A and B are shown apart, each in its own frame.
Chain A
Amino acid sequence: MSTLSIQNLAVVVGEQQILKGVDLEISSGQVHAVMGPNGAGKSTLSNVIMGKPGYQITSGSIELDGRDLSSLPTWERAQAGLFLAMQYPTEVPGVSVRETLELALRSRGADHIDVASRLDEEADQIGLPKELLERALNVDFSGGEKKRNETAQLAVLTPEIAVLDELDSGLDIDALRACAERIEAMTNDGLGVLCITHYHRLLDHLIADYVHILVDGQIVESGGPELAQELEDDGYSRFVDADEETAGVSVAIGGRSETKNAAVSDSEDPFADPLA
Chain B
Amino acid sequence: MAPTITGPFGKPEQVNLIGSSAFLGRRQEAEKSAAQRGMPSFEEELWRYTPIGDLDPSKYRLDAPGGSIADVGLTKGIENEAAAIIEVADGQIVSTVINDEAIQVHSEGTEMENAVGSVIPIGTDFFTDCNLSYCTAPLVIEIARNSVVASPILVRQHTTTSEIVWFPRLVVQLGENSEATVVEHQASPFINALVCPVNEIKVAQAARLKYLTVQEHGPALWQISTQVAEVQRDAHVALSQVALGGSYARARIDTQMAGKGSSGEISAIYFGRENAQHDFRTFQKHEAPHTNSNLLFKGVVDDDSRAIYTGLIRIEAEAGDVNAFQTNRTLKLSESAWAESVPNLEIENNDVKCSHASAVGPIDEEQKFYLESRGVPTDIAEALVVKGFFADVLEGLPSRPIAQAIDGRIDQLVALDKERL
Contact = CB atoms under 8 A, between A and B. Distances in A.
A90 B421 contact: no
Contact of B375 (A52, A89, A93, A105): A105
Interface stretch (B137-145, B314-322, B383-391): B383-391
Interface of B: 365-367, 369-378, 380-381, 384-385, 387-392, 394, 418, 421
Contacts of A94: 384, 387-392, 394
B381 A75 contact: yes
B388 A136 contact: yes
Contact of A79 (B366, B370, B375): B375
Contact of A157 (B367, B374, B378): B374
Interface string A136-173: 11000000000000000100010000000000000000
Contacts of A92: 367, 370-371, 384-385, 388
B366 A90 contact: yes
Counting from the closest, the 6 A-B pairs by CB-CB distance are A94-B391, A94-B388, A78-B375, A104-B375, A74-B372, A90-B370
Contacts of A84: 373
Contacts of A103: 376, 380, 384, 418, 421
Which bucket holds chain A's interface residue count?
Answer: 20 to 34
Nearest to B394: A94
B392 A74 contact: no
Contact of B376 (A50, A91, A107, A136): A107
A157 B384 CA distance: 19
Of A75, A78, A79, A84, the most chain B CB neighbours within 10 A belong to: A75
A157 B373 CA distance: 11
Nearest to B391: A94
6 contacts: A50-B373, A78-B372, A83-B374, A93-B388, A106-B421, A136-B388
Nearest to A52: B369
A111 to B, nearest CB: 9
Nearest to A92: B367
A101 interface: yes
A67 interface: no
B337 to A, nearest CB: 21
A78 B242 CA distance: 36
A93 B387 CA distance: 9
